[in-house]
Chains A and B, each alone.
Chain A
Amino acid sequence: MRRHALPLVLIAPAALLVGAGAIYPIAFVVWLSGYDYQPYRAGMMVRVGAENLLRVVDDGTFWHALQVSAIWVAGSVIPQFLLGLGMALVLNESFRGRGLVRTVILAPWAVSGVVTGIIWLWIFDGTIGVLNDLLLRAGAIEFPVPWGIHEETTWLMVLLANAWRGAPFFAIVLLAALQSIEPELYEAAQLDGASALRRFRHVTLPLILDAVVVSTLLRALWTFNFIDLILTMTRGGPVDATKTLPIYIFDVAYQRGEFGYAAALSVALCLVLAAFSLVWWQIRRLGGR
Chain B
Amino acid sequence: MSRGTTRRTLLAAGAGALALAATPRAQSAPARITFAWPFAGGERGMQILVNRFNEGQRAIQVEMQVVPQVQAIPRLTTAFTGGAGPDCLAMSDAWLSQFAGGGWLENLDPLLAGTSIEQDIVPGSMQIARMLGGRAFYVGYMVEAYSLYYNRRLFQEAGLAEPPATIEAFRDAAIRLTDARRNRYGYYVLGGTGWQFQQWSTWMLNHGGTGVDRTIFDAEGRCVLAGARHVEGLEKWVALYQRDRVSPLASATGTFQDQTNAFAAGQVAMVMGWGIGLSTLAEAVGEDNLGVAAMPAGPAGQYFYHAGNGFSLNAASRQKDAAWEFLRWLLRRENMEFWNREFGAIPANMTVWEAEWLRAPKYRAPMAMIRATDQLLRHPRHLPGYASFQAQFAPEQIQRTLLGRQTAAQHAQAIANALNELRARAG
Contacts and interface: CB of A to CB of B under 8 A. Distances in A.
Nearest to A144: B183
A272 B255 CA distance: 32
Contacts of A252: 388
Contacts of A102: none
Nearest to A37: B81
A269 B255 CA distance: 29
Contact of B399 (A42, A128, A147, A238): A238
Q: Output the residue of A42, A125, A128, A154 with the most chain B CB within 10 A.
A: A128
A255 B252 contact: no
B206 to A, nearest CB: 26
Given A149-B253, A234-B253, A255-B387, A143 B258 contact: no
Interface stretch (B40-48, B207-215, B261-269): B261-269
21 contacts: A39-B77, A40-B101, A126-B248, A126-B254, A127-B183, A127-B251, A127-B268, A128-B265, A128-B267, A143-B183, A144-B249, A148-B253, A149-B253, A235-B395, A237-B253, A254-B73, A254-B77, A255-B73, A255-B388, A256-B388, A257-B384
B275 interface: no
Contacts of A218: none
Nearest to A42: B103
B249 A42 contact: no
A40 B102 contact: yes
A43 B248 contact: no
B98 interface: yes
B252 A41 contact: no
A235 B193 contact: yes
B77 A127 contact: no
Interface in B374-423: 384-385, 387-388, 391-392, 395-396, 399-400, 403, 405
A239 interface: yes
A127 B101 contact: no
- Main secondary structure, interface of A, reads loop
Contacts of A236: 392, 396
Interface in B65-104: 73-74, 77, 80-81, 97-99, 101-103
Given A235-B192, A257-B385, A40 B396 contact: no
Contacts of B249: 126, 143-144, 146, 149
B250 interface: yes
Chain B interface residue number, banded: 35 or more
The 6 closest A-B pairs by CB, nearest first: A126-B250, A255-B388, A146-B250, A146-B249, A256-B388, A127-B248
Nearest to B397: A239
Contacts of A235: 192-193, 255, 395
Interface residues of A, number: 30
Contacts of A251: 388, 391-392
Contact of A148 (B99, B250, B261): B250
Contact of A127 (B193, B267, B392, B405): B267
Contact of B250 (A38, A42, A125): A125
Given A40-B384, A128-B267, 4 more contacts: A42-B103, A128-B265, A146-B252, A251-B392
A240 interface: yes
A176 B345 CA distance: 56
A130 to B, nearest CB: 12
Given A39-B77, A235-B193, A251-B388, A149 B101 contact: no
A25 to B, nearest CB: 12
Contacts of B11: none
A253 to B, nearest CB: 8
B158 interface: no
Contact of A240 (B180, B255, B396): B396
B74 A254 contact: yes
Contact of A238 (B180, B248, B403): B403
B403 A149 contact: yes
Interface in A81-98: none
B180 A43 contact: no
Contacts of A237: 192, 253, 395-396, 399
Contacts of B74: 254
Contact of A41 (B80, B101, B388): B101
Nearest to A147: B250
Nearest to A252: B388
Interface in B219-236: none
Interface in B255-282: 255, 258, 261-262, 265, 267-268
A258 to B, nearest CB: 8
Interface string A128-170: 1000000000000001101111000010000000000000000
Contact of A239 (B81, B99, B250, B405): B405
A38 B384 contact: yes
Contact of B385 (A149, A234, A256): A256
Contacts of B265: 127-128
A235 B256 CA distance: 12
Interface in A210-260: 234-240, 251-252, 254-257
Contact of B252 (A149, A234, A257): A149
Contacts of B267: 127-128
A39 B395 contact: no
Contacts of A143: 180, 183, 249
Nearest to B99: A40
A40 B248 contact: no
Contacts of B258: 125, 127
Contacts of B80: 39
